[in-house]
Amino acid sequence: MTGNALLNDAPLLRAEGLTRYYGRRLGCRDVNLEIHPGEVLAIVGESGSGKSTLLGLLSTELEPSAGKVSYRMRDGEMRDLAGLSEGERRLLLRTDWGFVRQHAEQGLRMAVSAGGNVGERLMAVGWRNYAGIRDEAIDWLGRVEIQPDRIDDDPRTFSGGMRQRLQIARNLVTQPRLVFMDEPTGGLDVSVQARLLDLIRSLVADLGLAVIIVTHDLAVARLLSHRIMVMKEGLVIEQGLTDQVLDDPREAYTQLLVSSVLAA
């Protein structure tokens, strides 16, 4: 890819003045951002900083109090997401987007087999041939390093790291263009985290995915993201190139976050 191709492309998603109150309490206020194809944006901050609220707004799970989110559909048209019909919105969520949640139980169907969890998304986009679906599911289980002989087991028998990898396969099998991730490595052992991070890193690069990842872990942001936004008390207080913000943080709060980490 030439540099100009990268620079001239239009944004995939754009948020303008995005604001959300819970009653009188502020979730996040006046957030503006753009994400381009292939770009990984990390949203960092402590609990309560508004980062998960922002992710909910971007992914249409929450309705904004003010502001809007636009998305470039596969036909190239930039659409205001608030203007989509419920059917269009669901199709978007099932096909063009992925959402990897911190708790795999919330992103998987726990009583359905591993293969079924992956195949279900394919059926949702119109796959009908059973053998084809099964082959594709086995292929994806392999890509997330799950042995093919586990295809008929249900995820309740899987370890935390395996469940998370299965959730990733379920999300990526429809070849989405944009994936939201909410603390995807949270609560996992360090060695399991490292494996998962490396898997996410290589899949994102190979597939050219755009990713918006919420994390409180600066090492995760450092490893995965191109750009970073730092949130505090519902506001974006600092943003830029990931290594620049982490190596030369300007705001007092960012300096505190960076200095509080053992090695980021």
Partner 1 sequence: MTAHLHTPDAPPRAVPVPLLPTGTLLRVEGLAKEFTLHLRGGTRLPVVDGAAFEVQAGTCVALGGPSGAGKSSILKMVYGNYRTDSGAIWLADDDGAVDVAHAAPRRMLDLRRRRIGYVSQFLRVIPRVSALDVVAEPLAAEGVPADTARARAQELLARLNLPERLWGLPPATFSGGEQQRVNVARGFIASQPLLLLDEPTASLDVVNRAVVIDLIREKKAQGTGLLGIFHDADTRDAVADVVVDVSSFAGRPQ
Per CB under 8 A, residues contacting partner 1 are 1, 3, 6-7, 36, 39, 194-195, 197-198, 201, 223, 226-227, 240-241, 243-244, 247-248, 250-252, 255-256, 259
The phi, psi pair for 93, rounded to 5°, reads -60, -35
Q: Which is nearer to partner 1, 47 or 259 (CB)?
A: 259
Write down the least CB distance from residue 61 to partner 1, Å.
27
Write down the least CB distance from residue 170 to partner 1, Å.
23
Report the candidate in 181, 172, 176 with the shortest Cα–Cα distance to residue 136: 172
Write down the least CB distance from residue 95 to partner 1, Å.
26
Angle in degrees, 0-180, between the axes of helices 130-143 and 160-172, rounded to the nearest 10: 130
Write down the least CB distance from residue 186 to partner 1, Å.
17
Whether the Cβ atoms of residue 152 and residue 115 lie closer than 8 Å to each other: yes
**CA 160 remoteness from chain centre:** 18
Q: Which is nearer to partner 1, 122 or 231 (CB)?
A: 231
Q: Which is nearer to partner 1, 93 or 237 (CB)?
A: 237
Helices (H) and strands (E) in the chain, counts: 11, 10
Write down the least CB distance from residue 243 to partner 1, Å.
5
Report the candidate in 19, 57, 65, 42 with the shortest Cα–Cα distance to residue 235: 19
Q: Which is nearer to partner 1, 117 or 225 (CB)?
A: 225
Q: Which is nearer to partner 1, 137 or 196 (CB)?
A: 196
**Measured between alpha carbons, how far is residue 197 from residues 115, 194, 214, 236 in Å?**
23, 5, 14, 25
Give the CA-trace dihedral at 105, 120, 86, 15, to 10 degrees.
60
Write down the least CB distance from residue 210 to partner 1, Å.
12
Q: Which is nearer to partner 1, 108 or 212 (CB)?
A: 212
